[in-house]
Amino acid sequence: MNVKNTTIELIKPYGGKLVDLLVDEKERKELKEEILHLKSIQIPQRFVCDLEMLATGAFSPLDRYMGKEDYESVLESMRLKNGLLFPIPVILPVKREQIEGIKEGERIVLRDPYNVPLAVMRIEEVFERDPEKEARKVLGTTDPHHPLVPELFLWGECCISGELKVIQLPEYYDFPEFRLTPEETRRRLEELGYSNVVAFQTRNPMHRVHEELTKRARERVKGALLITPAVGVTRQGTWTATRE
């Protein structure tokens, strides 16, 4: 019989603090007025997803798209410049023409592909990226048959970074009851009252073997089961590569 502990305290978020970049209602109203007079850039859906992860703390301790020092450190050592393990760079690539005329310290609006304003960024860094090095270091290959390699070379040649003030998160209409932020997830786990948690992340629909595996793991630790699926369009074929 499982015994719940109603006074549990979850382990601290990675890096010690759960980042929250969403502004309050008062600041949101002020920013919505300000963005009418700011330059804007539209960012692809991939980087909209990264923005959401940054805003809700899923990428804690990151509170912005990576600057040059973190970017280069992650490529070389899979660690942030402060030494924390972080195996993949989280950057915002842009074309040079998108930021032409934008000065350091200037604030710009980040919009999704449908032109919805999501955040205001203060430009603090602009630096060059090396897509070939990214492919080699992160994916372990520059083979164009790898599903992500060609995409890497289509991204902008520059990266921008700086303070983010997030006005709103992307809207979703499917499975809203399961789309929990890290803060909401932690609160739900605390409410369950178990001192142990088994977590399982899947990028594909779960099969019967996965179901049995997770059930047995939960029973073994006598705790809660956290499943975090990231299910999208299934890619054709598979690819295995090793980081250098």
Q: Is 59 exposed, middle or buried (0-12, 13-18, 19+ CB in 10 A)?
A: buried
DSSP H helices, 57-117, are: 68-77
Q: Which of 138-147, 159-168, 204-213, 219-228 has the highest mean pLDDT?
A: 159-168
Burial letters for 118-151: b for 16+ Cβ neighbours within 10 Å, e otherwise? bbbbebebbeebebeebbbbbbebeeeebeebee
Dist. CA 159–CA 148, nearest whole Å: 18
Higher pLDDT pick, 202 / 215 = 215
Q: How many structural domains comprise the chain?
A: 2
Q: Report the pLDDT value the prediction gives residue 80, as an integer from 0 to 100.
A: 97
Q: For 227-242, what is each residue's pLDDT tens digit?
A: 988 765 555 554 444 4
The CATH number of whichever domain residue 147 belongs to comes to 3.10.400.10
Q: For 4-27, what is each residue's pLDDT tens digit?
A: 555 677 889 999 999 999 999 999
Higher pLDDT pick, 134 / 240 = 134
Q: Are residues 107 and 181 in the same domain?
A: no
Which residue reads 């402060």 in tokens?
82
Q: Are residues 31 and 136 in the same domain?
A: yes
Q: Report the pLDDT value the prediction gives residue 20, as an integer from 0 to 100.
A: 97
Q: Are residues 118 and 43 in the same domain?
A: yes
Closest CA to 166 of 62, 54, 90, 59: 54
Q: Report the pLDDT value the prediction gives residue 92, as an integer from 0 to 100.
A: 98
Q: For 177-189, what is each residue's pLDDT tens digit?
A: 889 999 999 999 9
181 is a domain residue: yes
Q: How confident is the model at residue 243 (pLDDT cuts 50, 70, 90)?
A: very low
Dist. CA 238–CA 244, nearest whole Å: 20
Check: CB of residue 138 under 8 Å from CB of residue 88.
Answer: yes
Which residue reads 């992500």 in tokens?
148
120 is a domain residue: yes
DSSP H helices, 63-193, are: 68-77, 131-134, 149-154, 182-192
Q: Report the pLDDT value the prediction gives residue 39, as an integer from 0 to 100.
A: 96
Q: Are residues 62 and 128 in the same domain?
A: yes
Q: Are residues 83 and 201 in the same domain?
A: no
Give the range of the structural domain holding residue 221, as residue numbers without chain letter.
Answer: 177-229
Element (DSSP H or E) covering residue 163: none
Residues forming the active site: 202-204
DSSP H helices, the chain, are: 25-34, 45-56, 68-77, 131-134, 149-154, 182-192, 208-221
